[in-house]
């Protein structure tokens, strides 16, 4: 009998996922799969690695939001555990699962997992941390950290949008020096994102020509502009319209990025707090196998 380990966040998505555990046990059991559980903690989930080495599963399922997926990817890649990973979205947002469209029909997805259907995908690396979907900095990068947890749990994705819209009048640009595969670009920008997929911050289709299997990452930077143009770009993003060819947006594709600025500027990795700039970002091709 195959074994899968469910790495689940008990508080994501209105803390309701734990009520689905028996349903998942039944769903996988009827497919000939034994489901084992690892309940995540706020901090200190390194013992998950020891657990995996002890039980020797055939794969891992990360159940939660973007942060849960981020942590699971980091534990697997850092410790060189080459196990296929599935994503069960249950948090406020799960952008990578949305991009792959893997949670639209859960029964069909469980069939794919049972069949071992997976693809190898790239991840980004910043220092000793990895991200599977996005690294960002600028005015919007702090929003995920500033949204009150109670508001996030009650309003879901809308909490991010409300916070972001409220911050637009306060936006201040920062000087950036971006080096993409050795080519330098200097600009004033409100924010930048380095993305693996085209779904960012619950906004779908932010750019065209995005691939999670091409050995490259894409950078989008919103250049300094007037408030009306900024609001127009923001409206396009929220509406699911790509902005990579818009006037006022810089789009670069590269294997490696170096991003520098003056003073201190915090970054964000998959919705979790990242290091301060400067950032050196590299693509790690085909680093993880994702059930899909």
Confidence of residue 250 (pLDDT cuts 50, 70, 90): very high
> The pTM is what?
0.90
Residue 144 has pLDDT above 70, yes or no: no
Confidence of residue 140 (pLDDT cuts 50, 70, 90): low
Phi, psi for residue 217 in degrees, rounded to 5: -120, 160
Residue 18 has pLDDT above 50, yes or no: yes
Residue 145 has pLDDT above 60, yes or no: no
Please tell me the predicted confidence (pLDDT) of residue 285: 99
pLDDT digits (tens, 9 = 90+) for 38-94: 999 988 899 999 999 999 999 999 999 899 999 999 999 999 999 999 999 886 678
Confidence of residue 158 (pLDDT cuts 50, 70, 90): very low
Residues 52, 82 contacting (CB under 8 angstroms): no
pLDDT digits (tens, 9 = 90+) for 217-233: 999 999 999 988 988 99
Please tell me the predicted confidence (pLDDT) of residue 166: 57
Which of 21-25, 38-42, 122-126 is modeled with the greatest confidence? Answer: 122-126
Percent of the chain having pLDDT more than 90?
74
Confidence of residue 31 (pLDDT cuts 50, 70, 90): very high
Separation CA 25–CA 34 (nearest Å): 8
Residues 9, 42 contacting (CB under 8 angstroms): no
Please tell me the predicted confidence (pLDDT) of residue 169: 60
Strands 59-64 and 2-8: parallel
Residue 191 has pLDDT above 60, yes or no: yes
Q: Which domains does the chain have, with CATH numbers?
A: 2-116 (3.40.50.10330), 129-284 (2.60.200.40)
Residue 255 has pLDDT above 60, yes or no: yes
Strands 256-261 and 129-131: unpaired
Average pLDDT over residues 11-38: 89
Confidence of residue 165 (pLDDT cuts 50, 70, 90): low
Residue of 240 and 114 predicted with greater confidence: 114
Residue 156 has pLDDT above 60, yes or no: no
Confidence of residue 168 (pLDDT cuts 50, 70, 90): low
Confidence of residue 17 (pLDDT cuts 50, 70, 90): confident
What distances in angstroms separate CA 231 from CA 144, 236, 237, one per listed residue?
A: 19, 9, 10
Average pLDDT over residues 6-29: 86
Cis previous bond, 278, omega within 30:
yes
Helix/strand/coil (H/E/C) assignment for every residue in the chain:
CEEEEEEECCCHHHHCHHHHHHHHHHHHHCCCEEEEEEECCCCCCCHHHHHHHHHCCCEEEEEECHHHHHHHHHHHHHCCCCCCEEEEECCCCCHHHHHHCCCCCHHHHHHHHHHCCEEEEEEEEECCEEECCEEEEEHHHHHHHHCCHHHHHHHCHHHHHHHHHHHHHHCCCEEEEEEECCEEEEEEEEEEEEECCCCECCECCCCCCCCCCCCCEEEEEEECCCHHHHHHHHHHHHHCCCCCCCCCEEEEEECEEEEEECCCCEEEECCEEEEECCEEEEEEEEEEEEEC
């Amino acid at each position: 009998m195959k074994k899968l380990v469910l790495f689940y966040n008990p508080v994501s998505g209105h803390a309701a996922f734990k009520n689905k555990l028996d349903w998942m046990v039944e769903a996988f059991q009827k497919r000939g799969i034994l489901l084992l559980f690892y309940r995540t903690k706020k901090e200190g989930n390194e013992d998950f690695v020891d657990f995996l080495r002890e039980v020797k599963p055939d794969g891992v399922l990360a159940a939660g939001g973007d942060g849960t997926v981020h942590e699971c990817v980091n534990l697997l890649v850092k410790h060189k555990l080459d196990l296929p990973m599935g994503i069960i979205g249950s948090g406020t947002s799960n952008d990578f699962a949305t991009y792959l469209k893997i949670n639209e029909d859960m029964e069909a997805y469980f069939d794919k997992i049972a069949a071992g259907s997976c693809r190898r995908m790239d991840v980004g690396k910043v220092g000793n941390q990895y991200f599977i979907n996005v690294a960002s900095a600028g005015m919007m990068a702090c929003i995920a950290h500033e949204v009150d947890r109670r508001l996030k749990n009650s309003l879901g994705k809308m909490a991010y949008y409300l916070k972001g819209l409220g911050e637009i009048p306060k936006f201040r640009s920062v000087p950036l020096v971006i080096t993409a595969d050795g080519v330098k670009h200097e600009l004033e920008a409100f924010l930048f994102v380095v993305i693996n997929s085209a779904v960012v911050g619950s906004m779908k289709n932010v750019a065209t020509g995005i691939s999670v299997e091409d050995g490259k990452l894409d950078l989008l930077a919103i250049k300094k502009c007037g408030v009306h143009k900024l609001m127009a770009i923001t409206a396009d993003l929220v509406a699911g319209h790509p902005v990579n060819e818009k006037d006022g947006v810089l789009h670069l594709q590269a294997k490696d990025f170096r991003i520098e600025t003056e003073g201190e500027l915090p970054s964000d990795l998959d919705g979790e707090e990242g290091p301060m700039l400067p950032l050196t970002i590299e693509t790690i091709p085909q680093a993880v196998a994702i059930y899909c």
